[in-house]
Amino acid sequence: MIEKELRDGLRGAVSDEPPLGFDPDDAVTRIGVRVRRRRATFAVAAAVVAVVGGAVAVQQSVGLGRSGDVEIATRPSPPTSTTTPSRPDFTWPVPGLAPPKRLSQAEADARGRALRDVVVPKFLQQVKGMSNVRAMPFDSTTAGPDDPGPNVLEGGVEFRDQEGDTAVLVSVYSARYAFPGPDQECADDPHSSVRNTICRVDRLADGTALVFNEAVGKEDPGNVIASALHYRLDGVVVRVTAYNYNPTGKGTPLQSRRARTTMTEQQLTAVATDRAFTM
């Protein structure tokens, strides 16, 4: 399989299958060109690295400890999963919550344009020293079999750091989308191409829940992603995901992977909990 075919796998990845415990392989996403959610992105990125015949060796494997310290190993060992269950006083779906009015496609597209206008300023409040920063289109899509939608907005920010081009992706899920609960987000999935190394659920002071998740590729632990998910009392869920590689499939495959993801847990949390991101 040549490099172009692998990249096309990113651009063409769309699935209408119903979610089972929320496997991102089955989620419908379009970010500018159609890009499959984080776990399919892992698989394609690993394959692109393999295409170049090992021209770039995986130099480091990264884990983020509970204290926030970065733990680096020169040769990655099989990671173990560290999960913390949600507190019993947080219930998802939110009890008694009536589903909001279904947005028309025009209304969802307008909301996507509004998110595109704010995503770069919100990103730059948290991340400094990046160049070529630009917003990615927030595409409105329909996910899941139970709602005609649109019920998801997906976009993000492209930028360049010291290693090269990369991106942070932002997903906003309407309360009409049956998003799995925090415990399901942290559950091990034997069919997934990634393995959680950290998945922690916290109850915030405002009664909402926050999941911080770090995962590595099962076949290539050099691929690392980190996500913050904010579960809100109005039923909206916001996911912000950073990578140690370029998730868009653009640029040269010879670009080395970073020692860690491009945003810290604190930075991801700040964006995910920002009320400017809603649907």
At residue 58, the pLDDT reads 34
pLDDT digits (tens, 9 = 90+) for 153-195: 999 999 999 999 999 999 999 999 999 999 999 998 889 889 9
pLDDT digits (tens, 9 = 90+) for 92-140: 999 999 989 999 999 999 999 999 999 999 999 999 999 999 999 999 9
Nearest to 25 by CA among 160, 156, 161, 215: 215
Mean pLDDT value across residues 7-16: 39
**Cα 214 → chain centroid:** 10
54 vs 229, higher pLDDT: 229
At residue 1, the pLDDT reads 39
At residue 11, the pLDDT reads 40
pLDDT digits (tens, 9 = 90+) for 57-72: 333 333 333 333 333 3
**Cα 85 → chain centroid:** 20
- Residue 211 bridge partners (DSSP): 201, 229
Q: How many CA atoms lie within 13 A of 91 on its CB side?
A: 5
At residue 249, the pLDDT reads 78
pLDDT digits (tens, 9 = 90+) for 35-49: 434 434 444 444 444
Strands 83-84 and 194-203 turn out to be parallel
pTM over 0.85? The answer is: no
Q: Which residue has the tokens 């309407």?
A: 174
The rounded radius of gyration (Å) of the Cα atoms in the chain is: 18
Of 21-30, 91-100, 174-183, 244-253, which gets the smallest average pLDDT? Answer: 21-30
Three-state secondary structure call for residue 135: strand
